[in-house]
Amino acid sequence: MRAELTNLLLLEMLQKQREQLRLQNEQLMEVRKKRVEEDHSYIFKRFDSHHRLIYGGTPNPNTFKDWIKGMEKLFDVL
């Protein structure tokens, strides 16, 4: 009888620990998700700061190619 009570208490403690670990894991995942969103936001802001999102040049193909190359370099850097 005493062993059964001990086992029940241990089981209850383990269940509480498991629940605490689950909650901590959820909190950690939320922090990671927020950090990733902030990182993406930062990268976009850096990219946007170059004001080259829309091609505003002439219909000259060489000018357009230069713009494309500049965008590719920007992507590589970021």
Domain locations along the chain:
2-77
Residue 42 has a pLDDT of 82
Q: Which two tokens stand for residue 2?
A: 């005493």
Q: Which two tokens stand for residue 27?
A: 């909190």
Give Cβ neighbours of residue 25 (< 8 Å, ≥ 6 apart): none
Which tens digits make up the pLDDT trace of 11-65? Answer: 999 999 999 999 999 999 999 988 888 888 887 787 777 766 778 778 888 988 9
- pTM for the full predicted model: 0.47
Integer CA distances (angstroms), 16 to 9, 10, 23, 48, in order = 11, 10, 11, 48
Residue 51 has a pLDDT of 66
Distance CA 14, CA 16 (A): 5
Residue 18 has a pLDDT of 95
Residue 52 has a pLDDT of 67
